[in-house]
């Protein structure tokens, strides 16, 4: 019992007081643990308050123009509208001298400005403008096919031909059409081909090439069709050939008889006993 009592007295001795170094180390560990706990709580979205979650999500406004506008401020009312840059067409020319006036190619009268002149550099007044016949607009494809022009003739050769863009009437999702003034396209064709005769000769040459290509394609299809018809009608005869001999002939010099097949021309010679 004495031995057991001594062991118990040794186990329940009072702890020794901590040194200042140990206390400082424990305090640093405690502060570090608190910082780690606060960082974990800050990264969890479900522990945030409503005001904190509202600050984290940016506010946006639907501009009804195909995109969303993000606001820097918490209150959409505090977002000041940006000024809209409105581009106005140039105003009318105010003449100061007689040289400032333009002369219409149709009526030979003076005018200041017109639609054809501002859009296509064509000196024609609005009174003489004829959209259906003389001053009609044509597409880029029609300009190239009718007047045998290339892209470089329309876009690179000086002066570059002016055009206007319009929505495609066949499908709004297709690209915009480029419309050219036909009289300007005709002038460019004369500049490229030098004369109407050269342009007409080139048209005939290209038409002849197209006709030859169509005829060649047609002949090829007919040939393939004939070949298909012949192959469907032809039947292979797997049976052996049966000779159909004609009348018997006698050769006195050889003293022999012979028969000839009417189908394949085979001759059979034999003697009679």
Q: What is the pLDDT of residues 145-158, one digit of tens each?
A: 999 999 999 988 88
Specify the long-range contacts of residues 64-68, CB closer than 8 Å, at least 24 apart.
none
Identify whether 233 is part of a domain: no
Domain assignment present for residue 194? The answer is yes
Q: How many domains does the chain have?
A: 1
Q: What is the pLDDT of residues 178-216, one digit of tens each?
A: 999 999 999 999 999 988 999 999 999 999 999 999 999
Neighbours of 153 (CB within 10 A): 18
Q: Flag whether 191 is in a domain.
A: yes
pTM of the model: 0.48
Which domain CATH number covers 116? 3.90.530.10
From 135, 115, 113, 130, select the one nearest 186 (Cα to Cα). Answer: 135
**What's the CA gap between 248 and 268, in Å, rounded?**
10
Instruction: Residue 187: give the domain boundaries.
Output: 98-202
Listed ranges 131-140, 229-238, 245-254; the one with the highest mean pLDDT: 131-140
By the 10 Å C-beta count (0-12 exposed, 13-18 middle, 19+ buried), 186 is classed as: middle
Q: How many CA atoms lie within 13 A of 192 on its CB side?
A: 22
Across 122-141, average pLDDT: 90
**Residue from 157, 151, 146, 153 nearest 206 by CA:** 146
């Amino acid at each position: 019992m004495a031995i057991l009592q001594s062991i118990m007295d040794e186990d329940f001795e009072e702890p020794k007081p901590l040194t200042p170094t140990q206390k400082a180390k424990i305090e640093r560990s405690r502060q570090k643990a608190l910082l780690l706990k606060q960082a974990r709580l800050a990264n969890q979205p479900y522990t945030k308050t409503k005001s904190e979650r509202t600050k984290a999500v940016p506010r946006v406004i639907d501009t009804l123009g195909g995109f969303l506008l993000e606001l820097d401020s918490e209150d959409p009312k505090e977002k000041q509208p940006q000024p809209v840059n409105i581009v106005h067409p140039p105003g009318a020319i105010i003449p100061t001298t007689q040289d400032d006036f333009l002369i219409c190619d149709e009526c030979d009268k003076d005018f200041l400005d017109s639609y054809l002149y501002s859009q296509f550099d064509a000196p024609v007044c609005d009174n003489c403008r004829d959209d259906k016949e003389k001053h009609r607009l044509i597409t880029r494809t029609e300009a190239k096919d009718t007047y045998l022009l290339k892209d470089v003739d329309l876009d690179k050769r000086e002066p570059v031909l002016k055009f206007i863009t319009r929505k495609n009437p066949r499908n709004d999702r297709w690209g915009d059409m480029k419309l050219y003034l036909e009289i300007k396209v005709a002038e460019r064709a004369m500049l490229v081909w030098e004369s109407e005769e050269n342009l007409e000769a080139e048209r005939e040459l290209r038409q002849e090439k197209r006709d030859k290509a169509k005829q060649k394609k047609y002949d090829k299809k007919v040939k393939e069709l004939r070949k298909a018809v012949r192959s469907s009608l032809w039947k292979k005869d797997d049976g052996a050939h049966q000779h159909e001999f004609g009348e018997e002939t006698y050769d006195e010099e050889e003293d022999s008889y012979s028969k000839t097949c009417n189908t394949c021309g085979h001759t059979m010679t034999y003697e009679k006993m």
